[in-house]
Amino acid sequence: MYNSKTRTSGINDMVSRIAAAAQRLFTRSRMTQQSVILVIAVVIGLAAGVGVGLTKLMLIGFHRLFFVYGRYALGFMGDYYVILLPALGGLLVGPLVYVISQEARGHGVPEIMQAMVQRGGRIRARVSAVKALASALCIGSGGSVGSEGPTAQIGAGIGSTVGQLLHLSDNRIKTLVGCGAAAGIAATFSSPLAGAFFALEILLGDVSAEAFAPVVASAVTATAFIVATGIGPIATLHPPEVGIASYTELPVFVVLGILAAAVGILFVRSLTMFEEVFERLPLPNLVLPAIGGLGVGAIGFFYPTIFGSGYDAMAQITSGRTAELGLMIALLGLKILASSLTLGSGGSGGVFSPSLFMGAALGTGIWHAFKWLFPSLMTQSGAYAMVGMGAVFAAAAHAPITSILIVFEITHDYYLILPLMLACVTSVVVARAMYRFSIYNIRLVRRGVHFELGRDTRLLNEIQVSEGMTTDIISVKPDSQVREIAHLFETTKHHGFPVVDDSGKLHGCVTLTDVRNAGPEGLDKRVKDIATHDLVIAFPDENLNDALRKLGLRDVGRLPVVPREDHSRILGLITRKNIISAYNRALMRRHTKLDQVQDEEYFE
């Protein structure tokens, strides 16, 4: 008799066979491994494209449900009915994000980053589905957020699920998470370059060929699917060709970049403040999104353009159909408030489009101000709006490359590149100098997670060099011939040795590069003649993060570990490989503790 249990068993058997076949391929050559990853990346891109397409259909459906049919259902309220719509959406979103999947709360990207550093990229399979539904409900009912963060989380969830089903290593799962996130962003904007660099710049921090190729393949596949099927991207802007009239206006874009940094920081701090306020309210979590939605509804009653992602309003602003400076300032402040209310209360949606909206309002406001000061200003307001979009997001996310590419792929206007690059770089430099946290990592810091290039840097700060260094040292004597250590390099496959005399005194380090630079004529020289004596050293009570910075500062492969009171006595060596091994051991210990506490929450 064939029943559901038999069908489930058959599916599990099929998945197991696919996983076993994949593992066999991964034991083959490096080229075969990369080819398999590329194929998997294409599959993830296709699946993410489907996910984005379904999300778009849900967004359209829920918007019609709330703003069309809701008008009839709440007709007795007259025009005031819009005040209740985001609150009603919040009542439906609350159980989804607080009961079924807490990872679906907020703007999504911090949850991806936390999964990368604490769970090896493992994301529960349900997260993608819940995130799609919760975000569509939140945005469709008027929540002042975007769909880009959610689509990134949907794609990342798909990539993680595929990696887990195939029983891949943590590093490969993280790569597939990046592929899925890139595909989600790419399909949302029909922007494969921006999607790829979003994953590489913000999530992976890795532009090596091993990460770059699959991420690009996934982003391209998702974009091709969205375009070929006629579904189209969620975020649609069709700005006219803008460009700039004269490069003498470039200093104005520097001013725009500085002000964009201030707006980006204000958005980050406002969102953080509202999250803290709602967390302290003595109310059930389930009703918090409704309370935030009520505030958004009250703002939207007077300024309807703050409802939802705001792409229609952005299209008007970028096309030059703008009102006075005062309205732009009002829209900028109200969008910050409405988005902070939506996300701070536990709503589900992204910060990408709110940042773009704020940037468009800021850029147009700057244009109005300078047009009043300098009537000869020739460039259209649309150019300032588009540059402002990129600059505010760059400041909020600390992601200049993604910001430049997203605006360029929206406008296809090469003549906008110079002011865009100038404003985005200026905004990021100023924002980082004024406030070290981005809109993505500030949430993690509040949870005690310090994310940097895919690793929890707080964990590196907690581990001392003495725990990671190796004391099994092969040293060479200062008076040894270079010829002798050349043979030692060949037999040990090491790339460097400390130079230590018979009394145990440290004289320096000699590397394989030193030997190669000495050439054949240097083989008869003494080691002390070619060794490096101006050493970068580490101390046993330093943390691994400090050691890692020292390695990068001088681009060396190893650091001698010496006592603080006597720099001539070597205690051990610390290399990047030692740091990674110590980090992974500590991470495994943390995972063991987390598994005991959070198994039911994350992996039930």
Report the pLDDT averaged over residues 420-429.
94
Distance CA 582, CA 593 (A): 17
* Residue ranges of domains in the chain: 15-236, 247-457, 463-585
266 is written with which tokens? 């204000």
pTM over the 0.75 mark: no
| pLDDT single digits (tens) 78-89 | 788 889 999 999
| pLDDT single digits (tens) 4-45 | 555 555 555 665 665 555 555 555 545 566 788 889 999 999
> Dihedral of the CA atoms 142, 145, 149, 154 (nearest 10)?
-10
* Element housing 113 (H / E): helix 109-118
Name the pLDDT band for 604 (thresholds 50, 70, 90).
Answer: very low
| pLDDT single digits (tens) 466-477 | 888 888 888 888
Residue 200 pLDDT > 60, yes or no?
yes
Determine contact, residues 157/131, Cβ cutoff 8 Å: yes
Residue 72 pLDDT > 60, yes or no?
yes
pLDDT the model gives residue 529: 85
> Dihedral of the CA atoms 580, 583, 585, 587 (nearest 10)?
-130
Determine contact, residues 223/187, Cβ cutoff 8 Å: yes
pLDDT the model gives residue 203: 81
Determine contact, residues 603/124, Cβ cutoff 8 Å: yes
The mean pLDDT of the chain is 82
Residue 394 pLDDT > 60, yes or no?
yes
Distance CA 471, CA 571 (A): 7
3-state secondary structure of 538: strand
Residues composing the chain: 604
pLDDT the model gives residue 137: 92
Residue 239 pLDDT > 60, yes or no?
yes
Report the pLDDT averaged over residues 361-368.
90
Name the pLDDT band for 453 (thresholds 50, 70, 90).
Answer: very low
Burial degree of 593 (CB within 10 A; 0-12, 13-18, 19+) = exposed
Determine contact, residues 539/575, Cβ cutoff 8 Å: no
Determine contact, residues 212/200, Cβ cutoff 8 Å: yes
Residue 120 pLDDT > 80, yes or no?
no
pLDDT the model gives residue 603: 35
pLDDT the model gives residue 595: 41
Residue 55 pLDDT > 70, yes or no?
yes
pLDDT the model gives residue 212: 85
Residue 553 pLDDT > 80, yes or no?
no
3-state secondary structure of 452: strand
Beta bridge partners of 455: 452
CATH code matching the domain that covers 15-236, chosen among 3.40.50.300, 1.10.3080.10, 2.60.300.12, 1.10.620.20: 1.10.3080.10
Architecture, CATH, for domain 463-585:
Roll (3.10)
3-state secondary structure of 306: helix
Distance CA 483, CA 79 (A): 89
Token pair 């069908």: residue: 7
Q: Which of 111-115, 180-184, 283-287 has the highest mean pLDDT?
A: 180-184
Name the pLDDT band for 70 (thresholds 50, 70, 90).
Answer: confident
Q: Which of 75-79, 141-145, 533-537 has the highest mean pLDDT?
A: 141-145
Report the pLDDT averaged over residues 347-374.
88
Four-residue CA torsion sign, 216, 221, 226, 228: positive
**Among residues 338, 356, 441, which one has the least CA distance to residue 394?**
356
pLDDT > 90: percent of the chain: 26
331 is written with which tokens? 């829209």
Residue 155 pLDDT > 60, yes or no?
yes
Residue 132 pLDDT > 60, yes or no?
yes
Q: Could you tell me if residue 588 is left (phi over 0), alpha (psi between -120 and 50 degrees) or otherwise beta? A: alpha
Determine contact, residues 222/86, Cβ cutoff 8 Å: no
Distance CA 264, CA 395 (A): 5
Q: What is the SS3 string spanning 99-167?
A: HHCHHHCECCHHHHHHHHHHCCCCCCCHHHHHHHHHHHHHHHCCCCCECHHHHHHHHHHHHHHHHHHCC
CATH class of domain segment(s) 247-457: mainly alpha
